Structure formats: structure tokens, C-alpha cells
């Protein structure tokens, strides 16, 4: 019989062991006979290789999610475990730290994505404003160009009558306007 079995159970869940490997069939109660066979070098290698930043990939069962893990440790204090077994206290501290780091990582990734969304929206709005300004200035520039052309055409008609020559009609240069706008 072992005390503080939820600490070991949570450790196994954090390291992605299946419930069927460590619990009595059909329950969430730790089966010490099954669990003790898993306490070997492989368990300690998994603890050593645990990377809290890469745990968010893949499918999680309900009992492997952070809220369940945190709730599974509720009511357990460091002092009560330390009175029972120093090794179990170290495992408890490791599990708590792993859960806290995972939560911090999830929160920081969520915040980073939210910031990226805000930045993207700001860039889209700036681009819309720039496009609107470009179109407005283009309309104004074309209107001014056409007005100038009409004035020159009227002036040419007066000169044509006196000289008999016809000048070429100029067209609006969009490339030049775009270059100046940019």
C-alpha cells in the first residue's frame, strides 16, 4: 500500500502514460501493482527529457489535460508529503513545476498569437488606408490632368486656327504617378 498515490498518478499522466497502464480497470484509482512495474529507468528518462514547450502537440485524453492534473493534486501539501516520504515530496515538486511551466507556456503562446492577430489587423487597416489614399490621390491627379488637357486642347484649337498644326494628345502616366506616390 502506498500513500499519496495521486502524486504518482499525476506524474504518469504528465508523462503521457495511459490510464489503463496504471489504474484499476474502469476506474481512476491507481493500481499499485501495475504502476510499480513502470517505475524504472524509462520513467526517469522521460522525466529528464520532459520538455514543457513541446507537450502541446497531439491528442490529449481528458485525464492528461492540465485542468484535470491540477485538480488531481488539490488538497495535497508539500508538508504532508514531506512527513511521509522525502522522495515523494521531490516527485510532487517536480510534477507541480511541470504543470506550472506547461500552463505558463500555454498562456504565453496564447498571448503571442493574440498579439500577432492584433498586429495583422493593424497592418490590414494601414494597407486599406493606404489603398484608399492612393485611389483618392489617383482620382484627383487624373481629374487635374484631364482638366489641364482640356485647357491645352482649347488653347491648341485657338493656335491651330492661326497656325494649321495639330499637336499629339498626352495620356496620363500611371507608372509615374505610382512611383511618386510610393
Note whether residue 119 is domain-resident.
no
Query: Per-residue pLDDT tens for 39-59?
Result: 999 999 999 988 888 766 667
Tell how far CA 72 is from the center of its chain. 28
CA distance 182 to 179: 5
Q: In this structure, are 31 and 88 located in the same domain?
A: yes
Q: In this structure, are 17 and 105 located in the same domain?
A: yes
pLDDT value for 178: 82
pLDDT value for 55: 62
* Longest Cα–Cα distance in the chain: 118
Q: In this structure, are 53 and 138 located in the same domain?
A: no
Domain that holds residue 102: 5-112
Note whether residue 151 is domain-resident.
yes
pLDDT value for 169: 62
Q: Which residues of the chain have pLDDT under 70?
A: 1, 55-58, 158-169
Q: In this structure, are 58 and 80 located in the same domain?
A: yes
Q: In this structure, are 30 and 80 located in the same domain?
A: yes
Amino acid at each position: 500500500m502506498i500513500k499519496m498515490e495521486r502524486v504518482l498518478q499525476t506524474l504518469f499522466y504528465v508523462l503521457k502514460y495511459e490510464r489503463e497502464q496504471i489504474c484499476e480497470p474502469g476506474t481512476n484509482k491507481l493500481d499499485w501493482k501495475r504502476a510499480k512495474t513502470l517505475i524504472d529507468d524509462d520513467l526517469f528518462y522521460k522525466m529528464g527529457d520532459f520538455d514543457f514547450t513541446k507537450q502541446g502537440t497531439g491528442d490529449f485524453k481528458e485525464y492528461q489535460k492540465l485542468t484535470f492534473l491540477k485538480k488531481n493534486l488539490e488538497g495535497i501539501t508539500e508538508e504532508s508529503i514531506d512527513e511521509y516520504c522525502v522522495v515523494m515530496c521531490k516527485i510532487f515538486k517536480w510534477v507541480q513545476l511541470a504543470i506550472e511551466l506547461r500552463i505558463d507556456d500555454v498562456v504565453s503562446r496564447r498571448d503571442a498569437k493574440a498579439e500577432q492577430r492584433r498586429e495583422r489587423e493593424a497592418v490590414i487597416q494601414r494597407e486599406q488606408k493606404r489603398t484608399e489614399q492612393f485611389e483618392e490621390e489617383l482620382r484627383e491627379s487624373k481629374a487635374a490632368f484631364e482638366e489641364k488637357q482640356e485647357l491645352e486642347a482649347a488653347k491648341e484649337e485657338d493656335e491651330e486656327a492661326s497656325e494649321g498644326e495639330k499637336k499629339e494628345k498626352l495620356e496620363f502616366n500611371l507608372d509615374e504617378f505610382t512611383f511618386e506616390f510610393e
